[in-house]
Amino acid sequence: MTKLACASALIALAAPFGHARDRGQFVNTNADLKAWFDGLRSGKGPCCSDADGSALSDTDWDSKDGHYRVRVPRYGYALEGQMQELVWVDVPEEAVISEPNRVGRTMVWPIYGYMGVTIRCFMPGSMT
């Protein structure tokens, strides 16, 4: 195999993995609640921490026939300060967290990769 083919294969293998980042917005969070968030897992893996998740308003998620979908930014980064387009994404069943929601708000942990956005974890809140 040529060097170019090897390099292409390595890039293709590494590209699907999203990376978590702590933006520091939860520095003053209750320690017990932070530990609870840090321990959350779905069937798709650990949700990482509360810094990776986002709270959703009731208009940005819905449920139909036992399945969820969420509206999240199309890209995981800002485009020159412009508002991002929001897209509806189906939540895989294995991404739904079934334990009680201690914060009460709907939370989503999107992962952005070369094939678009997927959902690693989703915790429904109450639709009001």
Average pLDDT score, the chain? 79
Alpha helices in 15-63 (DSSP H): 31-39
pLDDT at 122 over 70: yes
What's the burial of 73, exposed, middle or buried (CB within 10 Å: 0-12/13-18/19+)? middle
Highest mean pLDDT: which of 6-15, 69-78, 86-95? 86-95
pLDDT given for residue 24 in this prediction: 58
Alpha helices in 15-106 (DSSP H): 31-39
As a whole number, mean pLDDT of residues 4-11 equals: 44
Q: Are 125 and 106 in contact (CB under 8 A)?
A: yes
Rounded to two decimals, the pTM is 0.73
pLDDT at 8 over 70: no
For 25-79, what is each residue's pLDDT tens digit?
Answer: 556 778 888 888 889 999 999 997 545 789 999 999 999 998 999 999 988 777 7
